[in-house]
Amino acid sequence: MEERGYDALTVNDLCERADTSRGTFYNHFRDKDGLLAVLEDEVMADLDALQGRMQSITLADMLAFRATGRPLPFLVELFDYLCEQSDFLHAVLGPGGDVRFGPRLREAVCENLVQNILHEKYRDNPTVFVEYYVAFYAAAYLGIIAHWIERGCPESSETMARIAMRLLFIKPGESIEL
């Protein structure tokens, strides 16, 4: 996918790289779209498993961890997982990847994270401003993830969790030091 782009990738290319036959491939997958869907769905299922931990995070939790300078354990686990999957994510989120996957990742991880830390009075608020607020921060978090993966995950998961938390609470004009 990274070398040629997904559209130019063929089943023959996949079988050659995996040192398997086309028959074996077709025993498991309908086509290359079926393989990609399985791989993407596995990542999404793994991220869904982390969602339970994320849903218990409150704004108070975030503020308590922020005050101590410690990263949220959930965010460290999230960045650990993203780093483990970085080769796949780099390919699928990159220019030759699947344009549908980024929005899925943004919705599953980023939007849910932002929704969970909203003050209770805004969580179920259907106003347009709240929708834009969530969309803004969700896109920003996807940008953080994509940039980190593009760079080869050079910062530790703990550092990335601290960066993600700091960016959420930074105020205009405030120092942008970590």
Burial string for 113-147 (b: 16+ CB within 10 Å, else e) reads bbbbbbeeeeeeeeeeebeeebeebbbbbbebbbe
Q: What is the pTM for the complete model shown? A: 0.85
Residue type, 110: C
Question: Any idea what DSSP says for residue 1?
Answer: -
**Residue 47 contacts residue 79 (beta carbons within 8 Å):** no
Query: What would the pLDDT profile of 127-166 be if each residue is shown by its tens digit?
Result: 898 889 888 888 998 999 999 999 999 999 999 999 988 8
Can you say whether the dihedral through the CA atoms of 16, 36, 84, 150 is positive or negative?
Answer: positive
